Amino acid sequence: MDSRKMQAHTEADKLHEECGVFGMYDFDGNDVASTIYYGLFALQHRGQESCGIAVSRTSGPPKNINVLKGMGLVNEVFTQESLAKMQGDIGVGHVRYSTAGASTRENAQPLVLNYVKGTLALAHNGNLINANELREELEYTGAIFQTTIDSEVIAYHIARERLASKTAEEAVRRAAEKLKGAFSLVVASPRKLVGARDPFGFKPLCIGKRHNAYIIASETCALETVGAEFVRDILPGEVVTITPEGISSDTSLCLPREKEARCIFEYIYFARPDSHIDGVSVYASRIRAGRFLAIDAPAEADLVVGVPESGNAAALGYSLQSGIPYGTAFVKNSYVGRTFIKPGQSSRESSVRVKLNVLREAVKGKRIIMIDDSIVRGTTSDRIVQMLRDAGAREVHVRISSPPFLHPCYFGTDIPKREQLIAHNRSMEEIREIIGADSLGYLKIERLTEMAEGRSICKGCFTGNYPVDPPTQDIRGNYER
């Protein structure tokens, strides 16, 4: 089995983000490739299938862009020697997990376009719901596509708008007006770094500064990794332009705050716990989720444990609220990656144990409350519960720091069709029986806004009510509401 398929097989019951983006412009003319590399390393959790970096010299000739991308993790694609050859003071980087378009090198980002007015290097996080319509519009006027990803549609539209726009940022804004769905973009033009976020703010995007250089990144953790200070979040609907003259802003696409719709799973699962998104600490939001679970779904037990990594903070919150001791029940093997070899026919069972093992001494003879961030298909949860029982746990009470998934996502989160979701057409009791727990509790939907400190969020995958009407079809195939 291909190693990437094996990883997907290993994590069949986990959600995946689509991408992480990182852009940098050093006004002193220093090379930015190595800093972008470390920024992507900090964003690796957002995508492990492919990655890439594109840089250019703002003082150099037109179309001097240098790009390197490939399949695999950041430290597999880049070497010290390859980074040393990537000379340029402006650039963008990208890590990818595919939800739209095949997992191939051709679909790796950043995308680089050479056109009449120069070059554009673009990195995109999110998923468009009108990508097919926009693609067909371009194809009928002669455009030839090299990839199957909606990011190329965005790049083409920016390039086309640039021909009729005075500036690169105006072209980005005019292209963004046509886009429906989720997009956080970082675009390097010959002498400008542009960032744009969709009006709903589905995906995060922020600005940082280090010495005389500015950075645009998906998460604040990437800023801290490269020693940059956080400047501010890019607002939903905002287009920002960074030049040596400073930061300019276009907020003409911004919606009223109550219409914004951040992906709640950034707080629940996707983002690193040391990140802040739109002023909210991811770690603190997960602590709150655990506290809410303890209030709304209490259980008598001896120990509260989290399923690493995103379940740990919620487990601590449950413990703090309930007074039940918090402990470690699982040891995670951090070195299981893309090169993991399929161990025969029992691979589905074995893969969970290879990635996760139980500390028998911690759980033997005890009543355990096990906190996890989600249950998608249920194919992992039942195995983890059984592992706790095999290690001697007397009872296993499962608590989930999100509501049940009932609907697919159209905006860049890899949630499957309804029929594949364990909560679809099943009662809480039926789900409990399937995973083999003594009791089961989910986070209440009304707690989600509290978890995000009152920020407007998207709850579509739980309620079926989306901030934008979903498509009937997109480049991933047919959808069903």
Residue at 397 is within a domain: yes
**Cβ 71 vs Cβ 48: under 8 Å:** no
pLDDT (tens digit per residue) in 150-170: 888 999 899 999 989 999 999
Residue 335 pLDDT level (bands cut at 50, 70, 90)? low
| Encoded tokens for 34 | 């190595």
Domain ranges, residue 332: 277-478
Pick from 237, 399, 392: nearest CA to 311:
399
In a shared domain, residues 119 and 210 = yes
Residues 209 and 331 in one domain: no
pLDDT recorded at residue 98: 60
Stronger pLDDT, 13 or 234, i.e. the higher one: 234
In angstroms and rounded to an integer, the radius of gyration of the C-alpha atoms of the chain is 23
One of 19, 51, 206, 254 is an active-site residue; which one? 19
125 and 246 both lie in a single domain: yes
Confidence band, pLDDT 50/70/90 cuts, at residue 208: very high
- 37 and 93 fall within a common domain: yes
How far apart CA 478 and CA 481 sit, in angstroms, is: 10
In a domain, 269, yes or no: no
pLDDT of 1 > 60? The answer is no
For residue 272, tell me if it sits in a domain.
Answer: no
* Residue 262 belongs to a domain: no
Q: How far is CA 410 from CA 236, 263, 416, 470, in A?
A: 18, 11, 10, 7
Strands 246-250 and 239-243: antiparallel
Nearest to 213 by CA among 77, 32, 44: 32
Strands 276-277 and 262-263: unpaired
Last residue of a domain, one of 256, 287, 315: 256
Does residue 382 lie in a domain region? yes
Give 404: exposed, middle or buried? Use CB within 10 Å, 0-12, 13-18, 19+.
Answer: buried
What's this model's pTM, rounded to 2 decimal places?
0.90
* 103-112, 390-399, 467-476, range with the lowest pLDDT: 467-476
Q: What is the CATH number of the domain that holds 406?
A: 3.40.50.2020
Is 19 labeled as catalytic in the residue annotation?
yes
Residues 341 and 195 in one domain: no
Q: Which pLDDT score is estimated for 104? A: 64
Average per-residue pLDDT in the chain? 88
Is residue 227 classed exposed, middle or buried when 0-12, 13-18 and 19+ CB atoms within 10 A define those classes?
A: exposed
Residue 77 belongs to domain with CATH number: 3.60.20.10
pLDDT in tens, 393-427: 999 999 999 999 999 888 877 776 788 899 999 99
Position 109 pLDDT exceeds 70 = yes
Task: Judge whether 263 lies within some domain.
Answer: no
